[in-house]
Chains A and B, each alone.
Chain A
Amino acid sequence: MNWRWVILIVILLAIQATSLTKLRIYYKQTEDIQRTIPLPPENFLKLIRLEFSGLLSDFIFIQAQETLGNRKTGEVTTETFNRVVSLNERTVAIDPYFLDPYYLAQALVWYSRGPEEIRRINQLLITGAEYRTWDSDLLFYAGFNHYFFLKEYRQAGDLFSQAAQIPGGWTGLAGLAAKMYHRGRDTAAGIILLKSMLLRTTDKEIRKYLEARLDQYQTMYYLESAVKVYQEKFLIPPRQIEDLVTAGIIPSLPVPPKGQKFYLDIQGNVDIEREAAAKNKGINK
């Protein structure tokens, strides 16, 4: 009587499949509800983690990824953004050394809708850098966000400068920091950074790079001082960089690196760029 069993099993399977499809609606609903349930506070998570901090942080991070992955449309709503960042904050509260939540947060910056959201992510990154002392990436991300989104050059310079001092990091960070300080009208800070880096560096290639940068920013600092003197003397800023020579403030223009040119931008700041670009920006003012 085997066929009876076969029929019974088929019926049971059919019932099971039907109920599963019916239940999927409710499952979807609970998913939506789940997304709005307040997250447990960090202190609570710290209490229940016992000795499984690592594992708990992994699971919370998966939640963050899920929240981001299950969004209904391509855009990231403020709701989703906040929830993912909150989940990331909790993940790193449990395991502050975990790289992935910082990495995901940085990816989220591109979906941010205002400076407050970016500052929140930067806060996360900077806290992370306090723990991941060997890792220049987090400071680099934070610096980049200050520079690119917030246009806060000095803060960006500070962060790049911290990143540059982490051993084994990217050499270009010191130059980048100096550039930010220059943009933030604090060229001197960049010069101090480059000098201190030179004191600690023995690698010939890196020294060569740092020396070239130092030379460049020292020249720009010299030109910036000349601009200040010009302004005090004539009460108006110079129109173009050559005015400094014709007015007799400096004997001659310093020699720029090959193929590059010093110029004054729209705000009257000294800058250096490739010759072609410089012509477009500065001279025809």
Chain B
Amino acid sequence: MNRIPNIYHLAVITFKEGIRNRALIGVFIISLVMMVINVTFINFFMRDLGKVSVDLGLSTVSLAGLILVLFIGLNLISKDLDKKTIFLILSRSVSRTQYLLGKFAGLMGLIIVSMAIVGLVSFLSVLVIKSFLAGVFFAKGFSWWTYFLAWAMSVVSLMTLTAVGFLFCTLTSHVFVAMVITSLVYLIGQSLPHIQELVLARQQVLKVSDAMKVFIQILYYIMPNFSLFDLKLQAAHGLPVDPGHIFWAVLYGLVYTTVCLWLADLVFKKKEFV
């Protein structure tokens, strides 16, 4: 019974509630300042000015996205549990699955719109630098398409992180704990590929026990591999991006997100709202 409308209505209020959050304006202002800094930052460098400006532009997008997900996004679901706003929703003909999906959809809308704004600002700053300040210092292979891809993959990464956050929000129903654990998962997910590389290197730099190797290997497959979604260096240096990379990374993100939401749903269905 009206499954899709319920999800839609929930998504709408979640989006509106999020987009009017003052912290979001803070994020926008910070990114705007970063972009102004970008124009002066390139003066500290000699040759690879294009690369530096793209670095700063895309890193700001990622950073703004992280703040958005960890500090605003997770709050939007935790506050529902904390302040019991969820009673208003779950007392209606809304199932718990619909609630989770609606919240997630609203949050994704919020992330996409905010990232579009931050991304546009970052695009403009790099465009100004490329057109008026340092056009000759851009990599030969530089393309706006790769720049866009890097932005889009950032959004996929944030989607995966949001799903992870949802899982921990339902498990702990305590916003601070959920935020800390989600941040930890992000940090581990970003650096685990490097740790795995170190541990399994043919020429052993570190002495690691076999049990540890197995543990790292298992962890590598369980933890989300966020480094897959990072195309910033490719965009900065105009390196070619393999369509296969994009395909598999997006698929990975979607599967990971689905699994996290499914687990969150299982937990959520058992949950008691005392």
Do A's and B's CB atoms come within 8 Å in the complex? yes
Residue positions of A touching B, CB distance < 8 A? 43, 46-48, 50-55, 57-58, 61-62, 65, 95, 97-100, 103-104, 134
Assess the B51–A50 pair: CB atoms within 8 A: no
Assess the B233–A50 pair: CB atoms within 8 A: no
The A-B contact count (CB < 8 A) is 71
Which of A47, A54, A104, A134 is close to B51, meaning CB atoms less than 8 Å apart? Answer: A54
Residue B45 at the A interface, CB < 8 A? yes
Assess the B236–A54 pair: CB atoms within 8 A: yes
Assess the B194–A46 pair: CB atoms within 8 A: yes
Which of A55, A103, A104 is close to B59, meaning CB atoms less than 8 Å apart? Answer: A55
Chain A interface mostly: helix
- State the Cβ distance, A85 to closest chain B Cβ, in Å: 16
For B, the interface residue count at a CB cutoff of 8 angstroms equals 35
Assess the B56–A55 pair: CB atoms within 8 A: yes
- State the Cβ distance, B71 to closest chain A Cβ, in Å: 17
Q: Which of A47, A57, A99, A134 is the most central at the interface, judged by chain B CB atoms within 10 Å of its CB?
A: A99
- State the Cβ distance, A106 to closest chain B Cβ, in Å: 11
Residue B54 at the A interface, CB < 8 A? yes
Assess the A53–B233 pair: CB atoms within 8 A: yes
B216-263 interface (Cβ within 8 A of A): 226-227, 229-230, 232-233, 236-237, 239
Assess the B48–A48 pair: CB atoms within 8 A: no
Known A47-B191, A50-B190; further 17 A-B contacts with Cβ < 8 A: A43-B194, A43-B205, A46-B191, A50-B186, A50-B191, A51-B62, A51-B227, A51-B229, A52-B62, A53-B233, A54-B55, A54-B59, A54-B232, A54-B236, A61-B45, A99-B51, A103-B47
- State the Cβ distance, B157 to closest chain A Cβ, in Å: 8
Residue positions of B touching A, CB distance < 8 A? 41, 44-48, 51-52, 54-56, 58-59, 62-63, 140-141, 157, 186-187, 190-191, 194-195, 198, 205, 226-227, 229-230, 232-233, 236-237, 239
Assess the B44–A65 pair: CB atoms within 8 A: yes
Assess the B232–A99 pair: CB atoms within 8 A: no
Assess the B59–A99 pair: CB atoms within 8 A: no
Decide: A62 near B44, CB < 8 A? Known: A53-B233, A54-B54, A97-B237: yes
Contacts of A95 in B (CB 8 A): 233
For the complex of A and B, the 6 pairs showing the least CB-CB separation, nearest first, are A54-B55, A50-B190, A99-B48, A97-B237, A51-B230, A55-B59
